[in-house]
Amino acid sequence: MNSISSDFRALLSTETSAAVPRISAAEMFNAPENHALYELWTQAPADPAVYRNRRIAVVATDGVEEIELTTVLHFFRTRGASVDLISPRKPSYPSMFGLQIPAIRETHILTIHYIETAGWIQFDKLIDDADAKNYDAVIIPGGAWNPDALRADPLVLAFVRAVAENQKIVASICHGPWILADAGLLKGRRATAWWAMKNDVTNAGATFVDQAVVVDGKIITSRAPTDLVPFVEAIGAQLR
């Protein structure tokens, strides 16, 4: 079985009857409006080496929306890019909070389907060890829990700022623009995000634009999983 079909099968492997509110990958792929997303996953790329000289950082932590993370990884890896999934270290908390983090978090992050927990995915590098100078782009997928944790991490904010200062691509989707806002990268920009974040985007000094993808210089933003195809294509256009 080729890598495209096996990755696609893995994405659908957790489909069961819904016990909590969730995003169903199978239902998304079956919707006619998302045919381009289905084709992205099931059709071989026209040029599997188009990004072979590009290095991409994907920054995420627990609570990342699975289809946003895996689609970004799949799109660029199957087209030749070197892609590192980068995460903060396993967190620790005072016992008074009662928070327990499993040992697997040392090497993996937990993905979600909206509210439903999905599965663990291994990351490639810790944010402590990532050098912004080594990357042509940083991409931040969404899921409300993931970016809310990332924007509280000074190492993440410093990394994203450094990528921007190097005049490289900074892209985020869904709730991911929270990190761009807290990194001070949205002031004076046109940007979009998950619709409920309109006030967050405007309070960060940006003009909110309700479009599938908004490109303002090297800053690229999108609204939701249904915008994944134009999102990755806009990033790819700047990487060529």
Q: Which residues pair with 59 in a beta bridge?
A: 86
Identify the pLDDT of residue 9.
78
Identify the pLDDT of residue 13.
72
- At which residue do the structure tokens 């060529």 appear? 240
Identify the pLDDT of residue 8.
82
Identify the pLDDT of residue 1.
38
The reported pTM is 0.95
CB 123 within 8 A of CB 86: yes
Residues 236 and 124: their CA atoms lie apart, in Å, by 21
**Catalytic entry in 74, 108, 113, 175:** 175
CB-neighbour burial class of residue 127 (10 A; exposed 0-12, middle 13-18, buried 19+): buried
Q: Which one-letter amino acid corresponds to residue 120?
A: W
Residues 178 and 195: their CA atoms lie apart, in Å, by 12
One pLDDT digit (tens) per residue for the chain, 240 residues: 355 667 787 777 766 678 899 999 999 999 999 999 999 999 999 999 999 999 999 999 999 999 999 999 999 999 999 999 999 999 999 999 999 999 999 999 999 999 999 999 999 999 999 999 999 999 999 999 999 999 999 999 999 999 999 999 999 999 999 999 999 999 999 999 999 999 999 999 999 999 999 999 999 999 999 999 999 999 999 999
- 174 flagged as catalytic: yes
Q: What is the DSSP letter of 19?
A: S
Residues 221 and 198: their CA atoms lie apart, in Å, by 13
Average pLDDT for the chain: 95
**Helices 3-12 and 35-42 sit at what angle, rounded to 10 degrees?**
130
CB 189 within 8 A of CB 156: no
Identify the pLDDT of residue 4.
63
Identify the pLDDT of residue 240.
94
- Backbone φ and ψ of 37, nearest 5°: -70, -40
